[in-house]
Structure 1
Amino acid sequence: MAMTLRLTDEENQRLVELAEAEGRSKQEVVRLALADRWARLHKEEQLGEVLGRVLPRYQSLLDRLGSA
């Protein structure tokens, strides 16, 4: 799906510099940035799920370590 991305002159210049530095097109830089942000979001969600399961199991140990 096509879309229009409106950038300020400064943002566009940054995108141009990134693309040149990485030897990529501006489109590819934006797509990779999107993929990176998406992956980080889902890693944070997964970490939250794991901590939600693990922390209750070890809460008494953590409480004892915290008061030591």
Structure 2
Amino acid sequence: MAMTLRLTAEQDRALTLLARLQSTSKHEAAVRAILTAASRSLSDAEVRDLAASAITDLAETKARVAKAHR
């Protein structure tokens, strides 16, 4: 899918530097940056899910311990 990416002069300089560092085109640098950000977000979501599960498990364990000590 084609799209136009409008950048400020500062953002364009940053993308240009990123492309040079990666020895690639600005297009490829932008694509890589998008994929990297997406993968980090997905990892963050997985961490949140695991944390929520752990908190639930901890609450259930605390309830069992409290019940056992009554």
Measured against the shorter chain, the TM-score band is 0.7 to 0.9
Amino acid at match of 1:46: E
Q: What are structure 2's unaligned runs of at least 5 residues?
A: 63-70
Q: Distance in 2 between matches of 1:14 and 1:52?
A: 37
Greater radius of gyration (CA): 2
The alignment covers a number of residue pairs equal to: 60
Per-residue CA distance 1:4-54 (angstroms, 9 max, x = gap): 001111211121111112101101110011101111111111111111112
Match of residue 44 from structure 1: 44
Taking only the aligned residue pairs, the percentage that are identical comes to 28
Q: Once superposed, which parts of structure 1, at least 4 consecutive aligned residues long, lie more than 6 Å away?
A: none
SS at match of 2:48: helix
How do 1:23-38 residues align onto structure 2 when only pairs under 5 Å count? 23-38=23-38
Per the alignment, residue 13 of structure 2 pairs with: 13
Structure 1 residues not aligned, in runs of 5+:
61-68
What RMSD in Å do the two structures reach over aligned CA positions?
A: 1.2
> TM-score scaled by structure 2?
0.74
TM-score by length of 1: 0.76
